């Protein structure tokens, strides 16, 4: 998987961030619907799809935005903080 200019990630077919989130949720006894995931690259798509709320950064790739529930501001404008305020603090 290409995750950016000059980056190539190689891993087995069944290994991805979505499976990691599912595993952690099970271990920590957290419902997937209660998980907030934030991402910007194609390797984040599986995580955004399994989380109860998937948030794309404003500078995210088009495919990431397409699968997300919400698009926040970009990484230069406190996007993660804005998402946390909106979905966790409020």
CATH architecture classification, 2-89: 3-Layer(aba) Sandwich (3.40)
Q: How far apart are CA 60 and CA 72, in angstroms?
A: 10
Burial class of 56 by CB neighbour count within 10 A (0 to 12, 13 to 18, 19+):
buried
What is the per-residue pLDDT for 16? 93
What is the per-residue pLDDT for 15? 87
Pick the range with the lowest mean pLDDT from 2-6, 28-32, 47-51, 81-85. 2-6
pLDDT at 14 over 90: no
Domain ranges of the chain: 2-89
In 1-90 the beta strands, taken as DSSP E runs, fall at 2-4, 7-8, 36-39, 53-56, 70-71
pLDDT at 5 over 80: no
- pLDDT digits 0-9 by tens, 22-75: 999 999 999 999 999 999 999 999 999 999 999 999 999 999 999 999 999 999
């Amino acid at each position: 998987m290409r995750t950016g200019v000059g980056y190539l990630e190689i891993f087995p077919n069944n290994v991805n961030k979505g499976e990691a989130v599912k595993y952690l949720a099970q271990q920590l006894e957290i419902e997937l619907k209660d998980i907030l995931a934030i991402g910007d690259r194609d390797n984040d798509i599986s995580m955004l799809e399994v989380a109860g709320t998937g948030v794309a950064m404003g500078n995210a790739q088009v495919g990431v935005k397409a699968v997300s529930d919400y698009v926040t501001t970009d990484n230069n404008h406190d996007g993660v903080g804005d998402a946390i305020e909106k979905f966790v603090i409020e």
